[in-house]
Structure 1
Amino acid sequence: MPDIAARMAKRLLPAARALGLDDVGLCRATGIDLVTLEDAYGRVELDRTLDFIDALLAKTDAASLGLMFATTGPPDAYHTPALVMLASETLRDGFTRAFELQRLWGDGDRFALATVDGASAVTFQVPGTRRAAHEPLEVCALAETLLAVRGLTGRMDEVPVALGLPSLGAASEMVSSFFGIAPRLGVDRAFIALSADALDAPIPTAHALFQSIFEKQAREELEALPAEDDLVARVRDFVGRGLAAGSFGLERCAGALAMSTRTLERRLSDLGTTYAAEVEHVRKERASRFLREGRPIDEVAALLGYSERASLHRACVRWFDRTPGQLRDG
């Protein structure tokens, strides 16, 4: 079952109090441990968090709740991925690096840099089967992204190029007012498209040495986290070993794990993921690492199981909004 960082789940409490609800009682009702919420490195099951949000939605709408999370939650400026962003040269670089560390926020590749309708965008998706509680989290994620753009670059009047949400039950006018643009509804994955000027604008707090220190600290924190579900780890291990040989299909993996393909797909679905998503995860992580090591692009394509260089190019643009050459050259 996917987890999120306790420091993120802790944002639920002031929202509950603001809505006149008993935050402690809701924690007990949804199985969220109050002691865990006070642990800087604690983890809370995502489903318990979503159950808590469902209770909040009985008192308000998704748009209001999402913006409340984004603008009134506990400050997170000293969380290591945020420090990495503060020390990065540009937003594009900062987002790329922070998203590689996002398990410190929560399990799953929820955030990504991508291209949407020809524009660079930050996308966001909550793991698991869609439910009403996803809506405020999506609004919050996009709002925090815009606040980061404005705060890190000083471009306080920055307005997104485009905005998309899978759904929004009500109060879309409030979202339009906050972002300065009306959201497009019915998209597959929430996104906020940003101008190239904003993404490539220099961050005044950039510092290469500090960035290196913060990234090292973040990697150590990642290693200290509880291991992700053993099944996911075993699937990723199988994919990693089979990529270069082109031997990483679903049927082969299921056979290696001594289960049917249907069972493997069902168990991964229960964990909020799919086999294709795990292949993508392994390829994405290795592409970033291999290219930053300066390996030849054709070699990286082969190591990731791509039959042609163009496939790696398309994947890198989708994952990082950068070409393999741009990633390799820094």
Structure 2
Amino acid sequence: MPRPDIAHPPLPQPTSLVPPIYARLLRMLLQHADVDGDRVLAAAGLDWATLVTDDKRLGRDTIVRLAEGAMAATRRPWLGLDLGGGAPVSAHGALGYAVVTSRDLREAVTTLARYGTTRNDAMAWTCVDTATGMTMQATERADLGARVRTFVIDTVLSAILRMLETAVGQIPADLRIELPLATPAWREQYQRFGVADIRFDRPAFAFHFVQRDLALPCIGADAKAHAGACRECEEALAEVAGASLAQRVAGLLASVANVSGSGAYPRMADVAARCGISPRTLIRRLHEDGATFQQLLDAARKQRALWMLLHTAEPVEEIAARLGYADTSNFSRTVRRWFGATPRELRETGGGPAPAS
């Protein structure tokens, strides 16, 4: 039996990664460090006059040249931490506004995961409930080279921490962060963010939240404002991804499942509302894309079931309930149909082939 796919479905290499606001902020950061920011921009093929008037997103090659030039000019390999940590929430556009107007930390985190690619298409995020809380994990989508990869991960890390701290008024006490980076000689630079548990040399970039922290209320909670910002994010998401409606719905199901912690996936009517269309229009347009809502829901459950079986110690009964299966036996049969192995066999083999009988 072939090993089941436990990662995200293959994603195309994005060509346009981030809005120009981040290059503008980097230039300001360089100027404050007594570095000629315009010279660094020029080396990356940019100029300030165009940068402040053009909203075209920056591509991979531009970002690589810009980051390498900035780190060389400042001699700060940790420059990404300075850039992300110094960016105001408003720099992140509708995403930042949607995060800080969320109801609580749980909603803020799932909002970040859902719409993160609208601000940085080099990473896609997934949220998964665990036995102790929730994990938000990144899938890297662009090959940036080792040094610039570190710069981008550091920028994203510090920007997320600043947004979350702004949202709930503090860094979650029991937050654990895992970084797919070698432990740097300048590790102490990470201590500025007040996160006690940051681990290096991990397989993926991930944030781990405990249940009590997820319940922290957001200071600026505003349901109406949050809904409006999310609608704007949905439009940006579709534009960035060039995605069909089926792809948008698949992403929505993958990211917002269990936002309430109840184990329920959103109903078709709820998904239609998030997409700004009626359920009837959703059905028709999914049909045009060669899909149905039930097919997309089953695919989301399949991906999430495998992740939870391989990455958590939760009992099979609880995983089944979280995925909406009232009957554990039915869930086990479904898992065997999906992967050719029972839940227990998948856990014993780590997702590899089941032992021959």
Which bracket does the TM-score occupy, shorter chain normalised? 0.5 to 0.7
What does residue 209 of structure 1 align with? 224
Secondary structure at the residue paired with 1:166?
Answer: coil
Partners of 1:163 and 1:82 in 2: CA distance: 23
- 2:76 is the alignment partner of 1:61: yes
Given the alignment, which residue of 215, 219, 224 partners 1:200? 215
Aligned pair count reads: 273
CA RMSD of aligned residues (A): 4.0
Tell me the TM-score normalised to structure 1 length.
0.66
Partners of 1:157 and 1:218 in 2: CA distance: 25
Given the alignment, which residue of 16, 24, 39 partners 1:25? 39
Partners of 1:327 and 1:152 in 2: CA distance: 29
Secondary structure at the residue paired with 2:233?
Answer: helix
What does residue 186 of structure 1 align with? 201
Partners of 1:116 and 1:60 in 2: CA distance: 40
What does residue 166 of structure 2 align with? 151
Q: Which runs of 5+ in 1 are unaligned?
A: 241-278
Secondary structure at the residue paired with 2:18?
Answer: strand
CA shift, 1:89, in A, is 1.1
Given the alignment, which residue of 58, 65, 87 partners 1:73? 87
- 2:305 is the alignment partner of 1:313: yes
What does residue 15 of structure 1 align with? 29
Post-superposition Cα deviations, 1:276-304, rounded to whole Å, max 9, x if no partner, equal xxx9x874345458942348xxx966445
Secondary structure at the residue paired with 2:90?
Answer: coil
Deviates more, 1:160-169 or 1:282-291: 282-291
- 2:185 is the alignment partner of 1:170: yes
Partners of 1:148 and 1:96 in 2: CA distance: 13
Partners of 2:93 and 2:301 in 1: CA distance: 37
What does residue 132 of structure 1 align with? 147
Partners of 1:128 and 1:157 in 2: CA distance: 29
Deviates more, 1:33-42 or 1:206-215: 33-42
Q: Which runs of 5+ in 2 are unaligned?
A: 1-14, 258-264, 270-291, 311-318, 325-357
Partners of 1:87 and 1:104 in 2: CA distance: 18
Given the alignment, which residue of 142, 159, 175 partners 1:160? 175
Structure 2 letter corresponding to 1:284? G
Structure 2 letter corresponding to 1:196? Q
CA shift, 1:173, in A, is 1.9
Structure 2 letter corresponding to 1:146? L
What does residue 267 of structure 2 align with? 293
Tell me the TM-score normalised to structure 2 length.
0.62
Secondary structure at the residue paired with 1:42?
Answer: coil
What does residue 261 of structure 1 align with? none
Given the alignment, which residue of 101, 107, 113 partners 2:115? 101
CA shift, 1:69, in A, is 0.7
- 2:251 is the alignment partner of 1:284: yes
Name the CA shift for 1:40/1:89 in 2 (closer, same or farther; >3 Å): farther
What does residue 61 of structure 2 align with? 47
Check conservation: 1:316, 1:324, Cα contact below 8 A: no
Partners of 1:216 and 1:69 in 2: CA distance: 28
Secondary structure at the residue paired with 1:183?
Answer: strand
Name the CA shift for 1:301/1:167 in 2 (closer, same or farther; >3 Å): farther
Check conservation: 1:176, 1:182, Cα contact below 8 A: no
Highest CA radius of gyration, 1 or 2? 2
What does residue 103 of structure 2 align with? 89
